[in-house]
């Protein structure tokens, strides 16, 4: 029973997934700090409001806090843009460099117009029906 568990844990894709989750969490922390510490400060300077979290209105005496939603929405868009431009585009570029397209080889055979048998491209007559082939 423990051997099966050990084999499962040491399987390559499980370890790769664990490393990916840990690296992803660390990268998420870096991107969140960049967004909150730098980008959101520029956004706040442009709209002359240092913190969107305090924005609210009252409906029948009950506060409706829409500021945290605005902050979370702006943060999400900024994080998605940073991930796209700093991770996805460079990785796609590198993958395109490494994965060169396979050259297309011309077909070695063609179909006979009479009997539709596959014959070599250089053949002048069909080997099955004897008809001349252009």
What are the residue ranges spanned by the domains of the chain?
A: 2-98, 104-134
**What is the structure's pLDDT at 48?**
80
Domain 2-98 has CATH 1.10.1200.120: yes
> Is 12's pLDDT higher than 70?
no
Q: What is the pLDDT of residues 48-107, one digit of tens each?
A: 876 788 888 999 999 999 988 988 888 888 888 888 898 889 988 988 888 877 888 888
Q: What is the pTM of this model?
A: 0.52
Q: In this structure, what token pair is assigned to residue 6?
A: 């050990």
Residue 21's φ and ψ, nearest 5 degrees, are -65, -45
Give the three-class secondary structure for 111: strand
């Amino acid at each position: 029973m423990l051997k099966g568990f050990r084999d499962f844990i040491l399987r390559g894709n499980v370890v790769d997934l664990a490393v990916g989750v840990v690296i992803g969490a660390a990268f998420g922390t870096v991107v969140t700090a960049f967004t909150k510490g730098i980008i959101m400060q520029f956004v706040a300077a442009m709209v002359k409001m240092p913190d969107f979290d305090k924005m609210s209105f009252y409906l029948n005496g009950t506060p409706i806090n829409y500021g945290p939603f605005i902050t979370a929405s702006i943060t999400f868009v900024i994080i998605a843009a940073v991930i796209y431009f700093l991770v996805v585009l460079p990785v796609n570029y590198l993958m395109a460099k490494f994965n060169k397209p396979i050259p297309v080889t011309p077909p070695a055979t063609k179909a006979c117009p009479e009997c539709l048998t596959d014959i070599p491209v250089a053949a002048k007559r069909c080997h099955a029906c004897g008809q001349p082939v252009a």
